[in-house]
């Protein structure tokens, strides 16, 4: 029996493929549970500190709250794709000159949305839900002896969310909206341990793979009303019930290049996603200037997941942002000719490692506008920091650029337009 005593020694760029896009990244905190879960929506609120539970848009698919999409223009469909590039600098005792930074690129989401009539809007799409990508080396000692062997630990994979959102506006003035997002969370998580020491005749590789697929629901409500001739106020709320995700776990063992066991089913492992609720408020002046504030709570602590050196704790996030718009009029209705966003956020992660909570904070700025007939763009720049150098942990300082493109056009059917 081997006793594992791991010291994080190296962290460097690895490669993987997600949605047919090459990645070069290292994510040290993705080793835990379902990987590094991303709270960002990657829509036009990216420049607002990702603030949008009470924010609506008639030109973009803003779905921070499933109920918000009722503001879309009837008979105009939207096709949106968003991508992100990120540069990270690492700090901490385990970090050296050869592993102090990384760069990566993802396709984050794709959506297709349409308002079908005066009260019903619908959208489908997928987005990256979590990412697993780490690589580090350590020493493994053999019980009963003083011998240690060099061991490499690495992980790759992640989960995606495939969703269908439906929202309905109620009342004569359509001020109250309800929405439900139905999702399938699916993907694979791969963890490998590679013993490749000079004292051994062959390397030994153990790869654990978890395959998951689970249905999940999120509900939302939003109420918007004028409070003066110039100002409107919107209040939104979201709720997601807890979800247990059971994986099918297999193990593959290699001695050198010889297969000892291949994809041997070893049972099931249960992962958890918590009860989550969010509250948001937005004030809009003259339909052009919006100020928004969000709070989100995730109840991870109720699962009582605690392992050696780490545990799950409740997550809390607060964000604020503002949007300033200039409008234009076209055959497809009112279109934002130009928009500017600013924002900030603070996020307490669901991880506590060596008795240290993992905090993240960032500031954002964005710009959007029209590229051509029916083609809109949004660009958001984010700078932030996550983690700490205390207790020999790793701190990440990062800069992230998000690009989002939306194509809008009228929907035709049987030779005539909807009206």
Contacts of 304 (CB under 8 A, 6+ apart): none
The per-residue pLDDT for 284 is 97
The per-residue pLDDT for 142 is 66
CA gap 384, 333 in Å, rounded: 37
CATH of domain 2-417: 2.40.160.60
Average pLDDT (7-18) is 28
Higher pLDDT pick, 73 / 263? 73
The per-residue pLDDT for 95 is 73
Q: What is the pLDDT of residues 116-165, one digit of tens each?
A: 999 999 999 999 999 998 888 777 776 666 777 788 889 999 999 999 99
CB 84 within 8 A of CB 358: no
Q: What are the tokens at 284?
A: 């809009």
CA gap 402, 75 in Å, rounded: 28
Q: Identify the band that residue 17 occupies on the pLDDT scale cut at 50, 70 and 90.
A: very low
The number of CA neighbours under 13 Å toward the Cβ of 414 is 1
The per-residue pLDDT for 92 is 84
CA gap 148, 201 in Å, rounded: 15
User: What b-and-e string marks burial along 145-155, b requiring 16 or more CB atoms within 10 Å of the CB?
Assistant: eeeebbbbbbb
DSSP-derived secondary structure for 48-116? GTT--TT---SSS---SSGGGGGGSPBTEEEEEEEEEEEEEEEESTT--GGGSEEEEEEEEEEEEEEE-
Is the model's pLDDT at 3 over the cut of 50?
no
Q: What is the CA radius of gyration of the chain?
A: 24
CB 356 within 8 A of CB 334: no
Average pLDDT (254-280) is 88
CB 374 within 8 A of CB 407: yes
The per-residue pLDDT for 159 is 96
The per-residue pLDDT for 395 is 93
CA angle 44, 49, 50 (to 5 degrees): 50
CB 369 within 8 A of CB 334: no
The per-residue pLDDT for 334 is 62
Q: Identify the band that residue 2 occupies on the pLDDT scale cut at 50, 70 and 90.
A: very low
Q: What is the pLDDT of residues 202-222, one digit of tens each?
A: 888 899 999 999 999 999 999
Is the model's pLDDT at 236 over the cut of 50?
yes
Q: What is the pLDDT of residues 373-419, one digit of tens each?
A: 889 999 999 999 999 999 889 999 999 999 999 999 988 655 444 44
Is the model's pLDDT at 10 over the cut of 50?
no
CB 211 within 8 A of CB 188: yes
Q: Identify the band that residue 12 occupies on the pLDDT scale cut at 50, 70 and 90.
A: very low
CA proximity to 45, closest of 373, 383, 368? 368
Q: Identify the band that residue 335 occupies on the pLDDT scale cut at 50, 70 and 90.
A: low
CB 238 within 8 A of CB 219: yes
The per-residue pLDDT for 138 is 75
Is the model's pLDDT at 4 over the cut of 60?
no
Q: What are the tokens at 415?
A: 């030779």
CB 312 within 8 A of CB 350: yes
């Amino acid at each position: 029996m081997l006793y594992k005593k791991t010291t994080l020694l190296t962290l460097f760029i690895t490669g993987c493929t997600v949605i047919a896009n090459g990645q070069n990244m290292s994510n040290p905190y993705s080793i835990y549970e379902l990987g590094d879960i991303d709270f960002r929506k990657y829509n036009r609120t990216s420049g607002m500190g990702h603030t949008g539970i009470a924010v609506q848009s008639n030109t973009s698919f803003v779905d921070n709250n499933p109920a918000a999409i009722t503001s879309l223009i009837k008979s105009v469909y939207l096709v949106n794709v968003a991508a992100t590039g990120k540069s990270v600098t690492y700090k901490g005792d385990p970090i050296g000159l050869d592993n102090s930074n990384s760069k990566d690129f993802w396709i984050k989401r794709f959506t297709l949305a349409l308002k079908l009539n005066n009260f019903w809007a619908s959208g489908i799409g997928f987005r990256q839900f979590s990412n697993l990508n780490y690589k580090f080396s350590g020493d493994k000692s053999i019980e009963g002896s003083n011998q240690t062997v060099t061991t490499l630990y690495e992980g790759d994979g992640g989960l995606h969310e495939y969703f269908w959102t439906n929202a309905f506006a109620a009342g004569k003035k359509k001020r109250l909206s309800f929405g439900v997002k139905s999702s399938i969370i699916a993907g694979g998580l791969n963890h490998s341990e590679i013993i490749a020491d000079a004292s051994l005749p062959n390397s030994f590789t153990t790869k654990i793979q978890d395959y998951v697929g689970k249905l999940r629901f999120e509900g939302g409500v939003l109420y918007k009303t004028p409070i003066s001739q110039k100002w409107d106020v919107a209040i939104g709320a979201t709720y997601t019930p807890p979800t247990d995700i059971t994986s099918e776990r297999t193990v593959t063992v290699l001695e050198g290049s010889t297969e000892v066991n291949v994809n041997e089913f070893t049972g099931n492992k249960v992962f958890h996603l918590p009860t989550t609720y969010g509250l948001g408020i937005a004030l809009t002046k003259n339909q052009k200037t919006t100020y928004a504030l969000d709070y989100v709570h995730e109840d991870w602590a109720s699962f009582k997941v605690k392992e050696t050196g780490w545990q799950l704790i409740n997550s809390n996030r607060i964000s604020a942002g503002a949007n300033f718009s200039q409008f234009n009029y076209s055959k497809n209705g009112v279109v934002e000719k130009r928009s500017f966003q600013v924002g900030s956020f603070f996020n307490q992660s669901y991880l506590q490692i060596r008795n240290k909570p993992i905090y993240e904070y960032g500031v954002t700025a964005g710009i959007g506008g029209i590229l051509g007939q029916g083609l809109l763009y949004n660009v958001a720049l984010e700078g932030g920091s996550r983690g700490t150098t205390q207790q020999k942990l790793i701190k990440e300082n990062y800069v992230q650029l998000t690009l989002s493109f939306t194509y809008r056009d009228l929907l035709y059917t049987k030779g005539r337009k909807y009206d």
